[in-house]
């Protein structure tokens, strides 16, 4: 099937095709985030069905993150000069397959294999999708296009994950994974029809990947990314437990507040995209610090439902802004090697996700929930301080930035 954007068009029709293509990538983001986080509301049912402990079933969340950390650079190394459109479509097909494997799995081990496939998909998709906006729309529109693509993160939390939990409650957890697989088919068709050819901006090699660590601002950005995302997922994994056991929040109010968290993240994504266009360093530092301060506010004042609600909404807004702010900073710091920087960035992000969730779980069992959240808050606040204090972007990387930098 040929893509519509392969046909020559001009004027408003061309612009429409560009934004439809951006929408097709955003649909993939939504499907991927929904797939990655859908077990959160289904682990109890899956554990009972497989006859496995809930702790072991929780690997459904950890395994994809570790696989993604390896897949992001590995797939970019193997992609060479392959059209990125073809890769995105193959990844959408892999998303369908991974969810079907889980839906049909007779045992937890088979389900975890399906989640490994999803992790490969997650790592490769994020590494490519985070830079395709610059290949689809004019330079002046890249920040807005990137925000739309990243909005799939928040939209998956607001709509996808609750919908999966609802389907799982009504029809069984397997139906939820089957539903995501079916939506993956819709995404695949949309990408086949709407995406233009997306030639690589570089052929990624091991030398390219290693060179990212020789750029001081990029190296600092990656360290900050690891700290911020480790802090986020060490705390976020137990947000619901804190609100339930410490705040004593009623289930109906808790569900509404978690929905509000997702909506705030959706808004934060677009605000973060607009601010990154003007100042990526300040936006990155501000989002990380705001994330830590909101977690700290919840921990210290969370006995009050009003304070807890304010903290959770601020938390959602800050985390909504963080991914695009981080990507904007990294794109400016390594503007000449966007694909390499994107692959390393996604790998480090996923390592932070996996380590944060793992260490957070161990910390909750040993030092308690409030102490764990305070530690996560300190990690995020430290991230903001590091970027603000030391994250000046070298002028040596500015040649050609206007053409390549997706956030201005």
3-state secondary structure of 326: helix
In whole numbers, what is the pLDDT of the chain averaged over residues? 81
98 token code pair = 């991974």
Question: What is the C-alpha separation between 188 and 184, in angstroms, rounded?
Answer: 6
59-79 helix and 108-136 helix, angle to the nearest 10 degrees: 50
Nearest alpha-carbon partner for 39 in 102, 132, 131:
102
Question: What is the C-alpha separation between 176 and 290, in angstroms, rounded?
Answer: 34
Q: Are 21 and 194 in contact (CB under 8 A)?
A: yes
Q: Are 310 and 86 in contact (CB under 8 A)?
A: no
CA atoms within 13 Å, Cβ hemisphere of 229: 24
pLDDT score, position 393: 62
| pLDDT higher than 60, residue 220 | yes
pLDDT score, position 291: 93
**DSSP letters along 223-264, please?**
HHHHHHHHHHHHHHTTHHHHHHHTS---HHHHHHHHHHHHHH
Question: What is the C-alpha separation between 340 and 186, in angstroms, rounded?
Answer: 29
89 token code pair = 């479509």
pLDDT score, position 105: 95
CA 197 to chain centre: 24
Nearest alpha-carbon partner for 162 in 57, 34, 289:
34
- In this prediction, residues 277-299 reach a mean pLDDT of 91
> In this structure, what DSSP letter does residue 32 have?
H
Q: Are 295 and 376 in contact (CB under 8 A)?
A: yes
Question: What is the C-alpha separation between 255 and 259, in angstroms, rounded?
Answer: 6
> In this structure, what DSSP letter does residue 42 have?
T
| pLDDT higher than 90, residue 272 | no
For the beta carbon of residue 141, count every other beta carbon within 10 angstroms. Answer: 17
Residues in the chain, total: 408
Q: Which domains does the chain have, with CATH numbers?
A: 1-200 (1.20.1250.20), 204-408 (1.20.1250.20)
Question: What is the C-alpha separation between 213 and 21, in angstroms, rounded?
Answer: 32
Question: What is the C-alpha separation between 219 and 106, in angstroms, rounded?
Answer: 44
pLDDT per position as a tens digit, 73-94: 888 787 777 888 898 999 999 9
- In this prediction, residues 243-249 reach a mean pLDDT of 85
Instruction: Place 315 in a pLDDT band, splitting at 50, 70 and 90.
Output: very high
Which of 181-190, 203-212, 280-289 has the lowest average pLDDT?
A: 203-212
For the beta carbon of residue 320, count every other beta carbon within 10 angstroms. Answer: 30
> In this structure, what DSSP letter does residue 159 have?
I
For the beta carbon of residue 371, count every other beta carbon within 10 angstroms. Answer: 13
CA atoms within 13 Å, Cβ hemisphere of 266: 15
pLDDT score, position 401: 36
- In this prediction, residues 319-335 reach a mean pLDDT of 83
CA distance between the termini of the chain: 34
More reliable by pLDDT, 350 or 321: 321
> What residues have CB less than 8 Å from 293, skipping those under 6 apart?
314, 377, 381
58 token code pair = 């929780």
pLDDT per position as a tens digit, 92-140: 999 999 999 999 999 999 999 999 999 999 888 877 876 777 778 887 7
| pLDDT higher than 50, residue 3 | no
More reliable by pLDDT, 200 or 320: 320
Instruction: Place 318 in a pLDDT band, splitting at 50, 70 and 90.
Output: very high
For the beta carbon of residue 226, count every other beta carbon within 10 angstroms. Answer: 21
> In this structure, what DSSP letter does residue 53 have?
-
- In this prediction, residues 271-288 reach a mean pLDDT of 87
Question: What is the C-alpha separation between 357 and 68, in angstroms, rounded?
Answer: 15
pLDDT score, position 407: 32
């Amino acid at each position: 099937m040929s893509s519509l954007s392969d046909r020559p068009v001009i004027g408003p029709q061309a612009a429409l095709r560009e934004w439809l293509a951006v929408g097709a990538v955003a649909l993939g983001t939504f499907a991927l985030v929904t797939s990655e986080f859908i077990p959160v509301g289904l682990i109890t049912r899956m554990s009972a069905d497989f006859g496995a402990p809930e702790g072991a079933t929780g690997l459904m969340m950890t395994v994809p993150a570790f696989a993604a950390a390896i897949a992001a650079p590995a797939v970019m190394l193997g992609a060479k000069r392959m059209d990125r459109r073809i890769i995105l479509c193959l990844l959408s097909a892999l998303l369908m397959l991974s969810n079907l494997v889980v839906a049909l799995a007779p045992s937890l081990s088979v389900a975890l294999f399906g989640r490994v496939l999803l992790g490969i998909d997650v790592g490769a998709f994020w590494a490519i999708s985070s830079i395709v906006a610059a290949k689809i729309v004019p330079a002046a529109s890249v920040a807005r296009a990137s925000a739309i693509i990243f909005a799939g993160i928040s939209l998956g939390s607001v709509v996808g994950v609750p919908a999966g939990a609802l389907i799982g409650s009504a029809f069984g957890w397997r139906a939820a994974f089957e539903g995501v697989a079916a939506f993956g088919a819709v995404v695949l068709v949309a990408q086949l029809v709407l995406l233009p050819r997306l030639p690589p901006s570089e052929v990624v090699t091991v030398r390219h990947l290693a060179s990212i660590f020789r750029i001081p601002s990029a190296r600092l950005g990656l360290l900050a990314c690891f700290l911020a995302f480790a802090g986020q997922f060490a705390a976020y994994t137990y947000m619901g437990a804190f609100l339930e056991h410490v705040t004593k929040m009623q289930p109906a109010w808790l569900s509404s507040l978690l929905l509000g968290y997702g909506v705030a993240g959706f808004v934060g994504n677009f605000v973060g995209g607009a601010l990154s266009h003007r100042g990526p360093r300040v936006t990155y530092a501000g989002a990380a610090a705001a994330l830590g301060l909101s977690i700290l506010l919840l921990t210290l004042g969370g006995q009050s439902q009003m304070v807890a609600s304010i903290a959770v909404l601020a938390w959602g807004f800050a985390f909504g802004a963080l991914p695009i702010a981080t990507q904007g900073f990294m794109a400016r710091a390594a503007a000449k090697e966007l694909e390499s920087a994107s692959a390393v960035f996604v790998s480090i992000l996923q390592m932070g996700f996996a380590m944060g969730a793992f260490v957070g779980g161990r910390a909750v069992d040993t030092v308690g929930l409030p102490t764990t959240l305070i530690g996560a808050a300190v990690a995020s606040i430290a991230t903001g301080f590091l970027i603000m204090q030391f994250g000046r972007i070298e002028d040596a990387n500015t040649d050609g930035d206007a053409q390549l930098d997706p956030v201005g």
